[in-house]
Structure 1
Amino acid sequence: MNAVPTSGKGTSPGRRRARLFVRHNSLGLFFLLTFLLALVGQAVAGHAEFNNQLVSEGMAPISLGAYLTTSDFAVDVTENWQSEYLQFFLYIFATVYLLQRGSPESKELGKAGTESDEDQMVGEHATGDSPRWAAATDWRAAVYSRSLGLVMGTIFLLSWLAQSVTGVAAYNEQQLRQLQAPVSWTDYLSSADFWSRTLQNWQSELLAVASMAILAIYLRQRGSPESKPVGASHSATGVEG
């Protein structure tokens, strides 16, 4: 009688490594996949809306491929990206110094500030598996210790710049279709269209962060690192479940 293979036997090493990779990176992979699905959905819906607008103005509709190269699609994408990265940039730097009593999104009440080298395991306090730049004692340590916020801030500025460039192009296309004069990039930066697109995204992102920091004081999600343990006190700060 042939023996029944046990779990894991008969699976190639490559497939096992692939499964392990997916399991260990499932959070990032999940959000990357849902991002792509949402982007595709936005492209399809935006294409339909754009063509409806063209038809209403007596112009011929365009293909989905052509729509993906338009400034209308680009500005819709970049205006959302810049607000998301602004949220993370502000959150990363604000939580260094600002506290929220009872929130797992805050550090403990006595740890405001950049903390000691020993707490942060930098320089002579670095361990054998610490990042190489964390063990440095020159400019590399200073840069690496702020690298997350710097990168988030840089992406925010670049995506905001991209929004302004694609936004003025989209705005001027609409102006020309309405037989009105186009505007310069500098004029567009002070226009209601630019700031309406910008602020409508900023306010929603900042509200979401404030809601998370405050609601997590009193509400729980069992097993989530974004929540305190279910039985933790409402006043427990900087504790994650």
Structure 2
Amino acid sequence: MWKFLKDNSLSLAFLALFLACIIGQAIAGYALQAEDPAGQSHSGSQLAYLLDANFLKGVFSNWQAALLQLFALIVLAVFLRQKGAPHSRETEGAQAKRRPDRLRWFGRSRSWTYANSLSLAFLGMFVLSFAGFVLAEAAVYNANRARLGEPPLAMAEFLVSADLWFATLQTWQAEFFAMGSFLILGVYLRQENSPESKPVGASDEETGETNR
């Protein structure tokens, strides 16, 4: 057990942080809704609140943005370069060493599906979380319209509404800003002993050191 915990401590730490944050979000959101001066207090249990559109909107809003950020990094890094960045392939000259093709996928050697499985996984998770976000956001939006005596918007209308894209682009721009900052700062700054950083003594122009 100790060896398992040690070998998987990084992912387990992130899992623990995730659970702590989402539980905290659920508790705080439930309390906030109960104090809503507009009379929208939730009469159900804390467990029932986990299926509330307001809670799901908050969860999926951030999930879809974070997953899109990682999908974009994985795919764009195939074609584009950033000189000196630890997470970029080298800009010119050096060719990536070919690894022995020993993997099999449904009897085929290195199928397209497996060769692109990381980006496909993040794309799939993004599509599902974005769909969940749109459905929850539409439910909240139409509930607010109903309280004002206005008719609900059809999904086709909501998909091109300013309300949806104002909320969506807020999260997307934040994620792309964070990733761009990480790439640029990684060129010039270091974090000793972190595999996400180039070695402390590495030149600013050394590219892709973490991937070697």
| TM-score, normalised by the number of residues in structure 1 | 0.80
1:46 matched to 2:29? yes
1:67-216 residue pairs with structure 2 within 5 A?
67-110=49-92, 119-121=97-99, 125-126=100-101, 130-133=102-105, 136-137=108-109, 141-216=111-186
Cα gap change, 1:135 to 1:224, in 2 (>3 Å)? farther
- RMSD of Structure 2 on Structure 1 (CA): 2.2
- Report Cα offsets for 1:112-168 as digits up to 9, x if no partner: 9xx77xx342xxx32xxx43339934xx52111101001111111111111111111
Structure 1 position 25, deviation (Å):
0.5
Q: Which residue of 2 aligns with 1:57?
A: 38
CA contact (8 A) 1:107 1:237 kept: yes
The CA distance in 2 between the partners of 1:135 and 1:111, in whole Å, is 35
The CA distance in 1 between the partners of 2:192 and 2:168, in whole Å, is 35
User: Any gaps of 5 or more consecutive residues in structure 2?
Assistant: none
The CA distance in 1 between the partners of 2:93 and 2:33, in whole Å, is 51
CA contact (8 A) 1:80 1:201 kept: yes
* AA aligned opposite 1:167: E
Structure 1 position 111, deviation (Å):
6.9
2:48 to 55, 60, 66: 66
- Report Cα offsets for 1:39-78 as digits up to 9, x if no partner: 011111212222232xx12354434233222111111111
| TM-score, normalised by the number of residues in structure 2 | 0.91
Which has the larger Rg?
1
What SS does the corresponding residue of 1:48 show, helix, strand or coil?
A: helix
The CA distance in 1 between the partners of 2:118 and 2:149, in whole Å, is 46
1:27 to 1, 7, 10: 10
Cα gap change, 1:59 to 1:144, in 2 (>3 Å)? closer
Q: Which residue of 2 aligns with 1:7?
A: none
Residue identity over aligned pairs, in percent, reads 40
The CA distance in 1 between the partners of 2:147 and 2:194, in whole Å, is 51
CA contact (8 A) 1:86 1:152 kept: yes
Cα gap change, 1:120 to 1:179, in 2 (>3 Å)? farther
Count of aligned residue pairs for this structure pair: 210
* AA aligned opposite 1:168: A
CA contact (8 A) 2:33 2:40 kept: no
What SS does the corresponding residue of 2:111 show, helix, strand or coil?
A: helix
User: Any gaps of 5 or more consecutive residues in structure 1?
Assistant: 1-17
The CA distance in 1 between the partners of 2:121 and 2:24, in whole Å, is 28
Cα gap change, 1:152 to 1:213, in 2 (>3 Å)? same
CA contact (8 A) 1:100 1:106 kept: yes
Q: Which residue of 2 aligns with 1:12?
A: none
